[in-house]
Structure 1
């Protein structure tokens, strides 16, 4: 019960802020203001809460990313696999035993059913398309191998591959022959696009394979961020006008790193017992990502780009976890 409450708070924190920011044009979606999710328009004259996301009028969702978004592409490209696993009815294709952040966003926005996965050729894509692949990296697998000597053990469907799929789809007969004279570009002005979260797996593989020092990991950040920004620019060039680009989590708070790199040195940890060096890496990534998003805003004044601050959302839940019995 406690874990479901924490999950619900996480989802509501992420989804209830975004429409307000979209209504003001280009903005950063920061993880602050926890005591007041809404705005004056979120309450109707009878005192009923109005779902702010539905007020945005999103009609479709298109996703690039990794395991936080993938609802079936990895399992479809892995013949005979039963992974990722989970509990019914969410087990097919999700790295979760429940709905993902983007699933909940879709439902809260009134995009129902959720977008179909690109790899499922039997579906019709009437609510958008999910191109995300669990375990994918921001950098191409070949670049990771040649420049950083890191393997991508789960999939080679990196961010550039997913963008190619999106481009192919937007130029396909499925998209263009829908009796809409302007083709897909105008149709998707009411769509919401997610580019990520992605990039976390690049660092994860580097850390777990033990190939790079912390200084080398830090030197890797500009390449990873550039891959995300270039993909976002590609999405905008395809006609996207409302785009969310999430940052990565505070990876120093994740149990796998706290277990593998546990230390008796107190200064290695912050006040929440998270590993400073890995959280510093995540903050560096997110800061450079926001700088890149700001540059895209200047290049695309008619588009709305929002930075999704998953880092602060996670940190907030980490701080209040004991209040919810976690």
Structure 2
């Protein structure tokens, strides 16, 4: 299926713009309050890591996410978030009337309102699985199975009994992902072909589905499972796979081939979620459409205040057509930061700006809320 078939109609997009923008009014400031969530638990990668990677012994303060300009817009300091400010999970927490999630690795942290187990660079498949395919994980070894192990240890130390855990988790929201994109990224940078990467997709989706089963068996009854961004629109991919072949790009100058892999992943994930709903009929398992939420930023860029000439460029970066150089990324010496990050979708060529995450989170919450069945 072509990437353009994933786009909603232009008339619907206009409606969505006004619907999402209306969520900024005071009446809609905390829409997830309707669900009365007491905790949020997050599994995932750099799209939702609020500080685990920078606390891991292997890297710690050596990662660029541990220093400015990361975090400069909101926190005025680096927190380990891979953005200039807030992430989507921060906006989800706000919408639920909860504090920002504390990373699991913050040993003295306050976990009364949930725990963030996500780690930047994490994969859905284990490092052992990937190593057997000669795919090296270069950022973190805290894959999805490791995060689930952390979650198990946390619940075992928190709940007196299984029934106690189930009672507590009835008022919790679980975010299983986004995760999986690093499996494909590491495979691509390791020299795997698009077809070889596509062959990995069923195993990646299977790992995510198993994670959903695990959290439901703990007692989760409301689980959000995000898909993957159109990575062919990101500066890192546009730079690595740059070509003079015009038919390789869509109307938004996104690369079709990697986006088609993402579409395949998202379609399999939706199919897996449908099967999980039959397996667990008393749990609300909701797909979060990151793909179309991201594409919506492109189609409505001018309405949302983004610079139409910089949609494929990084705010923090240097060099090339997309202001991105993998050998000299954001945080490195002499890498500059744009003066107006709010007008950019991409922060560092890999991750998005706070403003982009804000709009995506608002749209996703708007779409997800009715499916969570919070009124039952």
The answer for unaligned runs of 5 or more in structure 2 is: 1-6, 308-376
Deviations 1:263-283 (A, max 9, x none): 221211111111110000000
Change (3 A) 1:297 1:31: farther
Q: Does 1:136 align with 2:122?
A: yes
TM-score (norm 1): 0.82
Instruction: Specify the SS of the correspondent of 1:122.
Output: coil
**How far, CA to CA, are the matches of 2:284 and 2:243 in structure 1?**
43
Instruction: Provide the residue aligned with 2:136 in structure 1.
Output: 151
Where do residues 151-170 of structure 1 align in structure 2 (5 Å cutoff)? 151-170=136-155
Select which of 152, 176, 179 maps to 2:159: 176
Instruction: Specify the SS of the correspondent of 2:110.
Output: coil
Q: Is the 8 A contact 1:90 1:96 kept in 2?
A: no
TM-score (norm 2): 0.71
Q: Does 1:60 align with 2:39?
A: yes
Instruction: Specify the SS of the correspondent of 1:63.
Output: strand
Instruction: Provide the residue aligned with 2:282 in structure 1.
Output: 302
**How far, CA to CA, are the matches of 2:77 and 2:94 in structure 1?**
14
Q: Is the 8 A contact 2:29 2:95 kept in 1?
A: no
Deviations 1:230-255 (A, max 9, x none): 11111111111100000000011111
The answer for unaligned runs of 5 or more in structure 1 is: 1-29
**How far, CA to CA, are the matches of 1:284 and 1:144 in structure 2?**
20
Change (3 A) 1:278 1:82: closer
Q: Does 1:108 align with 2:91?
A: no
Measured after TM superposition, the shift of residue 135 of structure 1 is 0.5
Select which of 98, 113, 137 maps to 2:85: 98
**How far, CA to CA, are the matches of 1:120 and 1:264 in structure 2?**
47
Change (3 A) 1:31 1:71: farther
Instruction: Provide the residue aligned with 2:112 in structure 1.
Output: 126
Instruction: Provide the residue aligned with 1:213 in structure 2.
Output: 193
**How far, CA to CA, are the matches of 1:31 and 1:231 in structure 2?**
30
Where do residues 248-287 of structure 1 align in structure 2 (5 Å cutoff)? 248-287=228-267
Instruction: Provide the residue aligned with 1:290 in structure 2.
Output: 270
